[in-house]
Amino acid sequence: MHQADILAAVRKSKFRFLPAIGERYGVSDVALRAALHRPQRGAERAISEALRIPLHILWPDRWDASGKRLVRRGHKRAA
């Protein structure tokens, strides 16, 4: 999903704002905002759980359907 779509989903959720997700899941607001632009494992998981949208739907270039990470430290995993 595009970052604007993710932010729209957050606004439509019960959390309404990224910092509310951070408070609930123990993730910093900085990490949550960074996850919209670059890989942040914990923040991505928190957003996914808060929105009840699977990781591979939110970030298809970072996660596969089985829950495996496709990128590592900012680099795509070798096939």
Q: Mean of the pLDDT values across residues 56-78?
A: 81
User: 25-35 pLDDT, tens per residue?
Assistant: 999 999 999 99
CATH number at residue 53: 1.10.260.40
* Among candidate residues 3, 51, 2, the one with its CA nearest the CA of residue 24: 51
User: 1-37 pLDDT, tens per residue?
Assistant: 999 999 999 999 999 999 999 999 999 999 999 999 9
Whether residue 58 has pLDDT greater than 90: yes
> Alpha-carbon Rg of the chain, whole angstroms?
12
Q: Mean of the pLDDT values across residues 59-67?
A: 92
Structural domain for 62, as ranges? 3-76
Tally of domains within the chain: 1
Contact 44, 67 (CB under 8 A): no
pTM score of the predicted model: 0.86
Residue 67: its pLDDT value, please? 87
Whether residue 47 has pLDDT greater than 90: yes
